[in-house]
A and B are shown apart, each in its own frame.
Chain A
Amino acid sequence: GAVVSQHPSRVICKSGTSVKIECRSLDFQATTMFWYRQFPKQSLMLMATSNEGSKATYEQGVEKDKFLINHASLTLSTLTVTSAHPEDSSFYICSAAQGYEQYFGPGTRLTVT
């Protein structure tokens, strides 16, 4: 149980375009989902907390207009990187909370050229 999927697993886009990443909890309902960013050989950096049906809460320094988060249902949250630039290239990982346990998706590798 407690499976979280992410799609796509890898995406390459041109600078200036927008990219949407989906995060789904497959076998449980998650009122809270989290979005993280991870640079090579670094730990996870929390970007935002997403609650179903309400606006996401962003961490300090994360641009809410650049990283749009939508949590439309108890099993789906999306992260849209708008007007992506090469510095946005990173590994993006979501997690879904079941109580105080967080289950992570497999991650999405974004490369902006």
Chain B
Amino acid sequence: QKEVEQDPGPLSVPEGAIVSLNCTYSNSAFQYFMWYRQYSRKGPELLMYTYSSGNKEDGRFTAQVDKSSKYISLFIRDSQPSDSATYLCAMSANSGGSNYKLTFGKGTLLTVNP
């Protein structure tokens, strides 16, 4: 079993739809959870980060973490064609010092159709 599982999709939705992206993990040591957006041939862009169970909202994006179920989600409201990208979940355990190595999911390719 991989440490982080993420459905690679592809996921195709109409403009304005609510998008739900999910990851599950097996390592209980993970404490920090991030979502990155990566456009084709570009570096990942940090969208959201959180370190506690519950919801965190930023504009159209909501990150949700359920540590008891080892499950994280990213919701995108009122999706736009510009949201079309690959979304990567990433997690980190506190390994001491400043070396917060990230473990990534495979990424989900999202297409929002106008």
Contacts and interface: CB of A to CB of B under 8 A. Distances in A.
Nearest to B42: A106
B100 A100 contact: yes
B46 interface: yes
Contacts of A97: 98-100
A101 B41 contact: no
A2 to B, nearest CB: 8
A103 interface: yes
Q: What's the interface size class on B, roughly?
A: 20 to 34
Interface stretch (B13-21, B55-63, B101-109): B101-109
Interface stretch (A14-22, A41-49, A61-69, A82-90): A41-49
B88 interface: yes
Contact of A43 (B42, B92, B99, B107): B107
B101 A46 contact: yes
Interface of B: 32, 34, 36, 41-46, 49, 51, 88, 90, 92, 94, 98-102, 104-107
